[in-house]
Structure 1
Amino acid sequence: MVKAFIFDFDGLIVDTETPWYYAFRDIYEEHGVELGLELWSKNVGTSFEEFHPFLYLEQALQKKIDHDHIKLISEQKYEVYLGQAAILPGVYELLQSAREKGIQLAVASSSTRDWVHGYLQKLGIFDYFTVVHTSEDVKRVKPDPELYLLALQSLGIEASEAIVFEDSPNGLKAANAAGIRCIIVPNEVTRGLEFAMHELRLSSLAEIDMEAL
């Protein structure tokens, strides 16, 4: 029996992934460097450990760059591309249906607590979630399973009693490593990436059939 839904945040509840990619793609182009999706996707759903956009740009240019300036410019471009932050299709309806059926809800995100809490509160959905775990709560973020294992512990359930919703291969790897079934809902940045060992693939959460779940 399903007792809980555990959600990733970035790219699943709000598409923050695509604006960040566009922002850094523009910055790279302004420096005469191409930033492909395959390269950028290495940090989607995880930390900058494998691919750090600032350090990679320095390597490509073979010179130091002003990190503070790049950070400021990237944030300005991100805000323009994001526009008015909006909850993605089907998210609110799924949260409402889950609440009506007594299914617990959680967020497990590799992003920071302030980032995730801020958006959840701005969108008016923070109170739907019994548990919200972020990068500050674990030693290792996705694709390590620690975030999902912690969410299970906090919810007081077994892996077999949960379903994870993810948009990235790193998130899927984390869910699989934690032994939790995973439904993937890729966004514009991740839809062309390879996903293995998932329960179901949807184009949006609006396609969810609660009775089938």
Structure 2
Amino acid sequence: MTKDHFIFDMDGVIMDSEPAHKEVLEKVFGELNLEFSDAYHQTLVGMAAVPMWEKIKSDFKIETNARELMNFHKEIFFVEVEHLNIQPVTGVVSLIKKLKEMDFHLSLASSSSLKLIKRFVHELGIESYFDYLVSGESLERSKPFPDIFLKVAKNYKKDPSHFVVIEDSKNGVKAAKAAGMMCIGYKNPNSGNQDLSEADIVIESFTKLTPQVITKITS
């Protein structure tokens, strides 16, 4: 089956934003008097806000409503993000442009809020490259469930077998494979020690995705 659609995750794939998310979340945990650890944080990478706070609420036996916790987190994040230097992942903008030149359809599917997605794609000047910007905040189930990727496929009215997903987290890779899509795992050191073993291909640099390689894996 020819694959003619690419879906990009945002945090850790387009923007090198996982360290910023981690920094803010650690601050939120401190405000809530919760114990924060690298190991626990890695279980949250790739999850949308409400499911993430449902998990934290359950794990730490917090009585506060998950949406209230999420809103508290968002308030802190949008204050802190103004002072954080978040850069695009090396080589990703060139890859996006290259794929567009090769006539692939591109979409972005992220667990982050639509507000943040739109902000970052605007900053990079890449809005016009994407057919759809899909946020997990509007879905009941987050990665590792496949819902966000299936929503993209539904938007195109295409079978999932036509899609290649680029993900940097264990939850994201699991979601892509559960959706029945091919997955390229991008090993971003700033995303922590993520298990990408379920991905069809694992890369450490977007320079590895030459036109020849792209043609080979999508044919």
TM range (shorter): 0.7 to 0.9
- Residue 103 (structure 1) shift: 0.4
Map of 1:1-213 to 2, 5 A cutoff?
Answer: 1-25=2-26, 35-47=36-48, 48-50=50-52, 75-80=78-83, 82-83=84-85, 85-213=86-214
Against the structure 1 CA distance between its residues 207 and 55, is the aligned structure 2 distance closer, same or farther, given a 3 Å change threshold? same
Q: Which residue of 2 aligns with 1:64?
A: none
How far residue 126 of structure 1 moved from its aligned partner, in angstroms, is 0.8
Partners of 1:97 and 1:90 lie apart in 2 by 11
Q: CA deviation at 1:155?
A: 2.3
Q: Cα offset for 1:202? A: 1.5
| Offset from partner CA, 1:150-192 (integer Å, 9 cap, x none) | 1112223322221100011111111010010111113334341
- Is the 1:21–1:189 Cα contact (8 Å) retained in structure 2? no
Taking the aligned partners of 1:128 and 1:193, their CA distance within structure 2 comes to 28
- Identity, % of aligned positions: 26
User: In the alignment, residue 91 of structure 1 is paired with which amino acid?
Assistant: V
- CA-CA distance at 1:32 after TM superposition: 8.5
Going from structure 1 to structure 2, the CA distance change for 1:71 and 1:191 (only over 3 Å counts) comes to: closer
Q: CA deviation at 1:129?
A: 0.3
Q: Relative to structure 1, is the Cα distance of residues 147 and 27 closer, same or farther in structure 2, using a 3 angstrom cutoff? A: closer
Aligned length: 208
One-letter code aligned to 1:183: I
CA distance in 1 between counterparts of 2:93 and 2:3 reads: 19
CA drift at 1:19: 1.1
User: 2:51 touches 2:142 (CA, 8 Å); kept in 1?
Assistant: no
Aligned to 2:66: none
1:59 CA displacement: 6.8
Give the aligned CA root-mean-square deviation in angstroms. Answer: 3.1
TM-score (norm 1): 0.81
1:95-138 Cα offsets, whole Å, 9 max, x none, are 11111111000111112211111211121001100111112543
| Shift, 1:37, TM fit | 1.7
TM-score (norm 2): 0.79
The alpha carbon displacement at 1:39 in A equals: 0.6
Which segments of 5 or more consecutive residues in structure 1 lack a partner in the other structure?
A: 61-66
Q: 1:139 to 1:34 in 2, by over 3 A?
A: closer
CA–CA separation in structure 1 for the residues paired with 2:176 and 2:46: 12
- Higher helix residue share: 2
